């Protein structure tokens, strides 16, 4: 069993004086450079004291809270009664009695995984004090009557951000694991952590950009995104990759994948063991992948219609030249799925039937209940974002990454603060986190349209409200077979929101719900043995009713999709080699577009 007693001062090793001197000198030098960089960026970008419009939301909440003092007093009395019980229990425990906790942490909460949080009376008291306070804050703000839903959501979200930040696990003197490490190393962990902090500030040019993984261990095209293939077409917005076959015969109908351009395509081709691309090739698909460009200011005026024309339509033309096949199966992931649905509605109006089936990975088309991302979509924030994008011509990739990380702050922010800065450890090499940190920019015109017309106004589900390339978009005209895969713990595209598409598309729809989240629930190869999925042939309007009638099946949903898509067009032909058709290969996969970093 681990030693959970407080560190013995007689065993506290002093740090090397030379190391301290060198570290402090480095802090002075690097710190001055970081501050200068930060001030320069602030002068260039301007400063907004409340860019997220939090102050107004909390002012309204406080005003309404004060209008019902009895409820606030009741909450305070309950909190102090719990706190008094905790004091009494801690005193009894120190005298040797066995007591039950007043409040217990969630078993899945990794912040308190160290046994000292339970075995040591002092740290158990600190932990329970925090949990009681956190529950009190969240109960108070969630119980305020009269707030409009958007304001209530914002208050709840930022209250949780505050509560998460104040966790005792995030501070040196209240984290037993950090105290133990400090005693063992003589404080060298803190010096190393300070060096890590400076390095992350330098990466962000004065703003903190936390390193989540050892990025020196990964290189695109060498040990991630390594499924062999060729870039067979490119334009300003994308490269089209055709992958080499691994079977003697392939399905006659090619498969094309449209990933989101919020991130890079190789989430579906991380390593051979978890690559959806490799697996699809092994199932006999001729796989084409769109690799979006990482845009800069030159592409500021590219809009959603350009992604439709130069992304989907140009890819379809290129695939026909490469294979001789006019009709394809298509997959869209997240925003790529939104683009796919929009294009299918456009094609329906034009009587273009080249896409014969559509698969949507965690895709929203109805944004009425967009989940916690809606916290960032109000008029004040959109206006501030558009002003910043207008100056640069694009949204910085790091800004989008920070937004997504805030949705899971304990896992994607605070755990790395503790590991990198307090424990002074190097982050673990993890392919998924390397991809997560390889952020992409968003063209200003496209991103403004996407946030305003879809997230804020929810125009995509209003027939004819959006016009693209001369056609009024009506999703109800989509008649091709559709396969919708959503994930139960998705913070980005909540499954109950993605389910709404089942009531919109006119063609046959299969809805499948996978366990886990936006990424892990999708990237779940059969060999991993992880997670499960739910199926239900009925599609009632209420997603909860669908789930109550669903059957849970162990393992990956990938084979279920393969049975569905191959049954639509089972005919096979000799395997196709990239370059054997009407397109000459440009370069080896994964191509050059995917290698452009947002920091370049």
Catalytic residue positions? 334
- As a whole number of Å, the end-to-end CA separation of the chain is 48
Q: Is 598 helix (H, G, I), strand (E, B) or coil?
A: coil
> For residue 228, what are its two tokens?
């062999």
Cβ(252)–Cβ(325) under 8 Å?
Answer: yes
Nearest to 232 by CA among 479, 509, 580, 534: 580
Q: Specify which residues 224 forms β-bridges with.
A: 220
> For residue 383, what are its two tokens?
């206006």
Nearest to 33 by CA among 205, 150, 238, 265: 205
Spatial separation of the C-alpha atoms in residues 591 and 130, rounded to whole Å? 49
Answer whether the bond into residue 590 is a cis peptide, omega within 30°.
yes
Cβ(367)–Cβ(454) under 8 Å?
Answer: yes
| Whole-number CA gyration radius for the chain | 27
How many C-beta atoms lie closer than 10 Å to residue 257's C-beta? 27
Q: Is 491 helix (H, G, I), strand (E, B) or coil?
A: coil
Contacts of 165 (CB under 8 A, 6+ apart): 409, 414
Cβ(591)–Cβ(546) under 8 Å?
Answer: no
Cβ(263)–Cβ(440) under 8 Å?
Answer: yes
Cβ(469)–Cβ(498) under 8 Å?
Answer: no
Cβ(334)–Cβ(518) under 8 Å?
Answer: yes
β-strand 287-292 against 238-243: which pairing, if any?
Answer: antiparallel
Burial of 43 (0-12, 13-18, 19+ CB in 10 A): exposed
DSSP H or E run through 39: helix 17-45
């Amino acid at each position: 069993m681990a030693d959970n007693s407080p560190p013995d001062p007689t065993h506290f090793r002093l740090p090397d004086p030379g190391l301290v001197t060198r570290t402090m000198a480095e802090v002075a030098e690097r710190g001055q450079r970081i501050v200068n960089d930060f001030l320069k960026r602030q002068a260039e970008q301007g400063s907004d004291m409340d860019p997220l419009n939090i102050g107004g939301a909390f002012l309204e909440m406080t005003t309404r809270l004060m209008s019902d003092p009895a409820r606030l007093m009741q909450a305070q009395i309950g909190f102090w009664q719990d706190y008094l019980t905790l004091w009494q229990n801690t005193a009894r425990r120190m005298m040797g009695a066995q007591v039950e906790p007043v409040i217990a942490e969630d078993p899945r909460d990794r912040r308190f995984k160290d046994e000292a949080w339970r075995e040591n009376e002092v740290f158990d008291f600190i932990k329970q004090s925090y949990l009681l306070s956190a529950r009190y804050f969240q109960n108070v703000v969630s119980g305020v009557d009269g707030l409009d839903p958007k304001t209530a959501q914002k208050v709840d979200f930022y209250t949780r951000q505050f509560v998460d930040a104040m966790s005792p696990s995030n501070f040196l003197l209240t984290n037993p694991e950090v105290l133990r490490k400090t005693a063992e190393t003589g404080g060298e962990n803190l010096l190393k952590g300070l060096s890590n902090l400076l390095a992350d500030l330098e990466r962000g040019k004065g703003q903190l950009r936390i390193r989540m993984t050892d990025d020196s261990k990964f290189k695109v095209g060498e040990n991630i995104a390594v499924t062999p293939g060729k870039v067979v077409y490119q334009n300003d917005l994308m490269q089209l990759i055709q992958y080499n076959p691994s079977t003697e015969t392939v399905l006659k109908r090619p498969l094309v994948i449209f990933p989101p351009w919020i991130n890079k395509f190789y989430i579906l081709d991380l390593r051979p063991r978890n690559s959806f691309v490799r697996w699809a090739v092994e199932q006999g698909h001729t796989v084409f992948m769109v690799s979006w460009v990482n845009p800069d200011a030159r592409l500021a005026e590219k809009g959603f219609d350009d992604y439709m024309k130069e992304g989907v339509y140009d890819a379809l033309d290129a695939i026909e030249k490469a294979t001789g096949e006019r009709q394809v199966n298509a997959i869209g992931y997240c925003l790529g799925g939104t683009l796919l649905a929009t294009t299918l509605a456009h094609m329906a109006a034009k009587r273009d039937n080249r896409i014969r089936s559509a698969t949507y990975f965690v895709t929203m088309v109805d944004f009425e209940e967009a989940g916690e991302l809606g916290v960032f979509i109000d008029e004040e924030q959109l206006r501030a974002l558009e002003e910043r994008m207008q100056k640069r011509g694009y949204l910085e990739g790091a800004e989008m990454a920070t937004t997504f990380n805030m949705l899971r702050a304990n896992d994607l922010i605070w755990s790395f603060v503790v590991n990198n800065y307090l424990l002074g450890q190097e982050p673990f090499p993890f392919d998924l986190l390397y991809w997560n940190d390889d952020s992409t920019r968003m063209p200003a015109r496209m991103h403004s349209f996407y946030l305003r017309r879809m997230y804020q106004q929810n125009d995509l589900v209003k027939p004819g409200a959006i016009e693209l390339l001369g056609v009024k978009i009506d999703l109800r005209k989509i008649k091709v077979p559709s396969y919708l895969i959503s994930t139960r713990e998705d913070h980005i595209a909540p499954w109950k929101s993605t389910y709404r598409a089942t009531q919109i598309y006119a063609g046959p729809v299969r809805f499948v719900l996978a366990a886990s989240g936006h990424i892990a629930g999708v990237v779940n190869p059969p060999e991993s043995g992880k997670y499960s999925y739910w199926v239900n042939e009925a599609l009632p309007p209420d997603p909860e009713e669908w789930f109550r009638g669903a059957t849970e099946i162990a393992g990956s949903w990938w084979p279920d999709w393969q049975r569905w898509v191959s049954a639509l067009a089972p005919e096979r032909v000799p395997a196709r080699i990239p370059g054997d058709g009407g397109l000459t290969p440009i370069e080896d996969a994964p191509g050059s577009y995917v290698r452009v970093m947002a920091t370049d």
